[in-house]
Amino acid sequence: MPPVTTLELLATPAGVSGVRRALRPYGTDVQLCASELVTNVVRHVGEAVPVTVRVWREEGGRIRLGVSDPDPRVLPVLVAGVGTDAESGRGLALLDALAVRWGVEQEAGRKTVWCELFTDADTIAVTAADTPKTPERPGRRRPSAGALGHSSARS
């Protein structure tokens, strides 16, 4: 299935706010995760690096967000126990808390950090009987695979 939305931009601090505005129709969780992922490209890969942001609608009312950049070697790292005085390091923890699951797909010449989320409207409509379960963290409202370095199987 082709993406519903594709944004191509240079990773800059100003570009992050543009991504948030463009993804407003998908809800605050999608906007926040996209902001964090593009910001990570700025900080860890470099400013003015070409980035592609894609959004798909998945089965079950989920949204899949993917942020691709041209450096397959710089992988995201989920930092545990970031101190309250730390100025950074919470972005992937936030993504991990919001996403149903997330991971990284590596290809020759690029990587895509992706996540699947419920939209704000979908979250309200989900009941306990509809709550997805995963083997990684059964019973968690929004489980995350956190599959760093592994390709995802598109469902």
Task: Using alpha carbons only, give the angle 97, 23, 125 rounded to the nearest 5 degrees.
Answer: 55
Sheet holding 62-69, edge to edge: 5-11, 49-57, 62-69, 110-118, 101-107
The two three-digit tokens of residue 143, written as one number: 């489980």
Q: Where are the beta strands (DSSP E) in 12-74?
A: 49-57, 62-69
pLDDT value at position 89? 65
- pTM of the complete model: 0.74
pLDDT tens track, the chain, 155 positions: 678 999 999 999 999 999 999 999 999 999 999 999 999 999 999 999 999 999 999 888 899 999 999 999 888 877 776 656 656 667 888 899 999 999 999 999 999 999 999 875 543 333 333 333 333 333 333 434 444 444 443 33
